[in-house]
Chain A
Amino acid sequence: KAGVTQTPRYLIKTRGQQVTLSCSPISGHRSVSWYQQTPGQGLQFLFEYFSETQRNKGNFPGRFSGRQFSNSRSEMNVSTLELGDSALYLCASSRTSGSVNEQFFGPGTRLTVL
Chain B
Amino acid sequence: DQQVKQNSPSLSVQEGRISILNCDYTNSMFDYFLWYKKYPAEGPTFLISISSIKDKNEDGRFTVFLNKSAKHLSLHIVPSQPGDSAVYFCAARNYGGSQGNLIFGKGTKLSVKP
Binding site for B on A (CB under 8 A): 4, 33, 35, 41-48, 56-59, 90, 92, 98, 100-108
> What 9 pairs across the A-B complex have the smallest Cβ distances?
A105-B43, A45-B100, A42-B106, A43-B104, A56-B100, A58-B100, A101-B49, A105-B44, A106-B43
A interface SS class:
strand
Given the known A-B contacts A33-B100, A44-B104, A56-B101, are A90 and B43 also in contact in the complex, defined by CB atoms under 8 Å?
yes
B interface SS class:
loop
Given the known A-B contacts A42-B106, A100-B32, are A33 and B101 also in contact in the complex, defined by CB atoms under 8 Å?
yes
Chain B residues whose C-beta falls within 8 Å of the C-beta of A103 in the assembled complex? 46, 101-102
**20 pairs of residues in contact across A and B, judged by CB atoms under 8 Å:** A33-B101, A35-B104, A42-B89, A42-B106, A43-B44, A43-B107, A45-B102, A45-B103, A46-B100, A48-B101, A56-B99, A56-B101, A58-B99, A90-B43, A100-B32, A100-B34, A100-B102, A101-B32, A104-B45, A106-B43
Complex partner residue of B106 from A41, A45, A90, A108, CB under 8 angstroms: A41
Binding site for A on B (CB under 8 A): 32, 34, 36, 41-46, 49, 89, 91, 93, 95, 98-107
